Amino acid sequence: MTFFKILLAFHILGGSISLLLGLYILLIQKGDKIHKKIGNIYFLAMLTASIVSLPMSYLHPNYFLFIIGIFTSYMLLTGRRYLKIKSITDVQKTDWALSIIMLIFAFAFIGFGIYNIVKNNYFGIVFIVFGSIGLSFVYQDRINYLGKSAIKNYFLMSHIQRMIGSYIASATAFLVVNNNVLPSIVAWLLPTVLLVPLIIFWSRKYKKALQK
């Protein structure tokens, strides 16, 4: 068995587990022991699938794998960290490093997307969408890390948004790989269109604004 096939096996296993558990987490009550236990398994499975996708995308050049791997890893790691960031004193250098890395790749995705559109390849829209989403989350990080958020429980809001965001990436990967019917750009963006309303719903439900 080649090294690539070993990575592929871990990628498929982690992706399959996280896809099923992620859907389960979306449906169950939030914050209880079951949510936390299942969430930990989801995190490890998804992170495994995301990390191994990076060397896979190099061994067998694949922009799709690379984008999903970077985007999902950022979402997972920052989403996990936000559970421990209750104030600016909890922010560490690694938190800033994750945001800076995402910032660099977000601009790269947008630039590559524009380049593709100029070349009449409108799949570049996908790169621009994911890059723009990445920029919005980096901007959110900056506000949170500097203590400028107007939301009292911003750490919970950010955790919810990042974890659902990581599931969007997982669902996107699954749909793109197994799609034989939809246009490719639709397959790429459909999970985002369907699941972003959930981010908005949960955010509004748990949001606590600062009293000024």
Q: Is residue 159 included in any domain, yes or no? A: yes
Q: Is residue 212 included in any domain, yes or no? A: no
Q: What value does the mean pLDDT take over residues 182-190?
A: 82
Q: Is residue 195 included in any domain, yes or no? A: yes
| 97-103 own/partner pairs: CB under 8 Å, 24+ apart | 98/74, 98/141, 99/138, 99/141, 99/142, 99/145, 101/74, 102/70, 102/74, 102/134, 102/137, 102/138, 103/134, 103/135, 103/138
Q: Is residue 91 included in any domain, yes or no? A: yes
Q: Is residue 197 included in any domain, yes or no? A: yes
Cα dihedral 54→122→165→87 (10° resolution): 90
pLDDT for the residue 192: 84
Q: Are 113 and 127 in contact (CB under 8 A)?
A: yes
Quote the domain boundaries for residue 121: 3-206
Q: Is residue 211 included in any domain, yes or no? A: no
* 102-161 pLDDT, tens digit each: 999 999 999 999 999 999 988 788 889 889 989 999 999 999 999 998 888 889 889 988
> How far is Cα 53 from Cα 7, in angstroms, rounded to an integer?
8
Q: Is residue 151 included in any domain, yes or no? A: yes
Q: Other C-beta atoms within 10 Å of 128: how many?
A: 17
Q: Other C-beta atoms within 10 Å of 5: how many?
A: 8
| pTM: predicted TM-score of the whole model, two decimal places | 0.87
The single residue listed with the structure tokens 């969007």 is: 168
Average pLDDT, the chain: 88
Q: Are 125 and 187 in contact (CB under 8 A)?
A: no
Residue % of the chain over a pLDDT of 90: 52
> How far is Cα 57 from Cα 52, in angstroms, rounded to an integer?
9
Domain count, the chain: 1
Q: Is residue 56 included in any domain, yes or no? A: yes
